[in-house]
């Protein structure tokens, strides 16, 4: 994917394709991959810290986490009912990962603070906003949709899953609806990935442009505040759509 998007070089401060830092067994490691690992470490540390410090008299940090956890659990329970136990953990995981990666990407100097030299002796950023890489957004979109498919097969059976696309009723309208359902599985991936990528790439480009212009001395705060709000909204949208897809796919097609 990175090679296919190399035509974008030179469009501005941020290019569509991430920078390749080095290769491991022939696989390119980009700055967005490094950022992804960095976010994973943060999430692991937070989980470990909370598990060791959680108490009946919570701190402000624990209160914030409990509010987030309770909100997603109650919302998933209202929509999915008894299926909350297997849907909710995935929804919360998607939200937290996307939220933290988006927040970190909006920090001033995140992409300029550390640079490394590539094999071509070119100085590139060590970090880059994770969701500004189409490879990443496509990957989590595929995970979301495939996960919904697997849960559907588990809970309504292989016949019930196939009946969404191939009707056993001899009516042309059901065949047409089944075809639309099949196409919809692919449009889910496109919709989830490009929505997140488009918003975060555009936001990161705007922020980087602001920090490299005279506007940095005048109006950086409104831009950052706007992008932080968008970061929350995009994480929420992705998580909620995942919850809706999993709930719908685990319902019998006749319902």
DSSP labels, the chain:
-TGGGGGGTTSSSS-SSPPEEEEETTEEEEHHHHHHHHHHHHHHHHHHHHHHH--SS--HHHHHHHHHHHHHHHHHHHHHGGGHHHHHHHHHHHHHHHHHHHHHHTSTTTTTS-EEE-TTS-EEES---GGGSHHHHHHHHHHHHHHHHHHHHHHHHHHHHHTTTS-SS--HHHHHHHHHHHHHHHHHHHHHHHHHHHHHHHHHHHHHHHHTSGGGGTSHHHHHHHHHHHHHHHHHHHHHHHHHHHHHHTS-TT-
pLDDT at 219 over 60: no
Which has more confidence, 217 or 147?
147
pLDDT at 254 over 60: no
Residues 69, 88: Cα–Cα separation, whole Å: 9
Residues 225, 145: Cα–Cα separation, whole Å: 31
Separation of CA 172 from chain center: 38
Residues 44, 136: Cα–Cα separation, whole Å: 19
pTM for the model: 0.80
pLDDT at 93 (0 to 100): 92
**What residues pair up with 27 in beta bridges, in sequence order?**
24
From the list 207, 249, 235, 252, the residue with the least C-alpha distance to 71 is 235
pLDDT at 226 (0 to 100): 79
Which has more confidence, 219 or 21?
21
pLDDT at 5 (0 to 100): 37
Residue pLDDT, tens place only, 107-163: 766 766 677 776 666 777 778 888 888 889 999 999 999 998 888 888 888 887 777
Residues 128, 37: Cα–Cα separation, whole Å: 12
Task: Report percent pLDDT > 90 for the chain.
Answer: 19
Average pLDDT, the chain: 79
pLDDT at 139 (0 to 100): 92
Residues 206, 149: Cα–Cα separation, whole Å: 37
pLDDT at 123 (0 to 100): 75
Which has more confidence, 6 or 157?
157
pLDDT at 140 (0 to 100): 93
């Amino acid at each position: 994917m990175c090679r296919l998007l190399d035509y974008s070089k030179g469009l501005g401060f941020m290019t569509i394709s991430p920078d390749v830092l080095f290769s491991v067994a022939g696989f390119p490691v980009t700055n967005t991959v490094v950022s992804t690992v960095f976010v994973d470490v943060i999430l692991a540390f937070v989980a470990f810290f909370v598990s060791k410090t959680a108490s009946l008299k919570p701190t402000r940090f624990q209160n914030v986490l409990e509010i987030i956890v309770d909100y997603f659990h109650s919302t998933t329970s209202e929509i999915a009912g008894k299926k909350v136990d297997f849907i909710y953990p995935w929804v919360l995981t998607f939200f937290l990962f996307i939220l933290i990666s988006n927040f970190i990407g909006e920090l001033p100097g995140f992409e300029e603070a550390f640079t490394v030299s590539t094999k071509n002796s070119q100085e590139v950023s060590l970090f880059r906003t994770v969701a500004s890489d189409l490879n990443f957004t496509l990957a989590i979109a595929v995970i979301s949709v495939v996960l919904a498919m697997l849960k559907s097969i588990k809970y309504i059976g292989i016949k019930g899953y196939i009946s969404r696309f191939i009707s056993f009723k001899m009516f042309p309208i059901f065949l047409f609806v089944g075809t639309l359902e099949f196409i919809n599985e692919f449009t889910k991936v496109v919709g989830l990935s490009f929505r997140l990528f488009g918003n975060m790439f555009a936001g990161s480009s705007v922020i980087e442009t602001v920090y490299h212009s005279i506007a940095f001395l005048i109006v950086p705060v409104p831009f950052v505040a706007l992008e932080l709000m968008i970061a929350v909204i995009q994480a929420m949208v992705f998580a909620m759509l995942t919850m809706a897809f999993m709930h719908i796919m685990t319902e019998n097609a006749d319902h």
